[in-house]
């Protein structure tokens, strides 16, 4: 049973904060007390979540307002019991940051054999598709956590 989960994307302002908040919310609703954090392999450090991400999560009753982007680090990688990434190159980048992370790093869409494309500065339709894939990944992992 994983209690410390790190979710990683590129800038830590779009996909990973959305996945962090959705995964935490789902685990809490399932009666768990998880620690879920997010980071980026090329984080826009201290930036808030993208306005579209904030808006989409507000529509679900989740407040991304307090989120601030942070860089993936050795300390975060070692803190996590499970690391979920959006794309395969994120796994590779994390392996460069901390080689010990490789055995516990998986795609969020692992069970669907699906990466989550980056919606940054893209249309709402692209955002909708990315969030749909994040929802599917969260649901699939929730059954296994």
Please, what are the averages of pLDDT over each run of 10 residues along the chain (145 residues)? Answer: 93 98 95 94 96 96 96 97 98 96 97 97 96 98 92
How many H helices and E strands in the chain?
A: 5, 4
Map out the domains of the chain as residue ranges.
4-142
92 is catalytic: no
- Which of these is catalytic: 25, 98, 118, 135? 118
Classify strands 82-85 and 4-9 as parallel, antiparallel or unpaired: parallel
Do 82 and 18 touch, CB atoms closer than 8 A?
Answer: no
Q: What is the pLDDT of residue 2?
A: 85
- Of 80, 82, 75, 78, the closest CA to residue 100 belongs to 78
Q: How many whole angstroms separate alpha carbon 34 and alpha carbon 41?
A: 23
Q: What is the pLDDT of residue 120?
A: 95
9 is catalytic: yes
- Of 78, 83, 73, the closest CA to residue 5 belongs to 83
- Residues sharing a CB contact under 8 Å with residue 132, sequence separation 6 or more, in sequence order: none
CATH value of 4-142 in 3.40.50.720, 3.40.50.300, 3.40.50.2300, 3.40.50.1820: 3.40.50.2300
- pTM, 2 dp: 0.96
15 is catalytic: yes
- Residues sharing a CB contact under 8 Å with residue 89, sequence separation 6 or more, in sequence order: none
Checking phi first, is residue 109 left (phi over 0); if not, alpha (psi -120 to 50) or beta?
alpha
pLDDT, tens only, 31-60 = 998 899 999 999 999 999 999 999 999 999
- Which of these is catalytic: 14, 15, 24, 37? 15
């Amino acid at each position: 049973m994983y209690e410390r989960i790190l979710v990683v994307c590129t800038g830590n302002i779009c996909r990973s904060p959305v996945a962090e908040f959705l995964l935490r919310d789902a685990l809490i609703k399932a009666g768990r007390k998880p620690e879920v954090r997010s980071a980026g392999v090329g984080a826009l450090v201290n930036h808030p979540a993208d306005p579209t991400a904030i808006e989409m999560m507000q529509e679900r009753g989740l407040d991304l307002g307090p989120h601030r982007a942070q860089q993936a680090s050795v300390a975060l990688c070692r803190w996590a019991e499970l690391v979920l990434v959006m794309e395969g190159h994120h796994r590779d980048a994390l392996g460069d940051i901390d080689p010990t992370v490789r055995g516990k790093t998986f795609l969020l869409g692992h069970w669907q054999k699906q990466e989550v494309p980056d919606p940054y500065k893209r249309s709402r339709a692209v955002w909708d598709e990315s969030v749909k894939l994040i929802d599917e990944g969260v649901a699939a992992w929730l059954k296994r956590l």
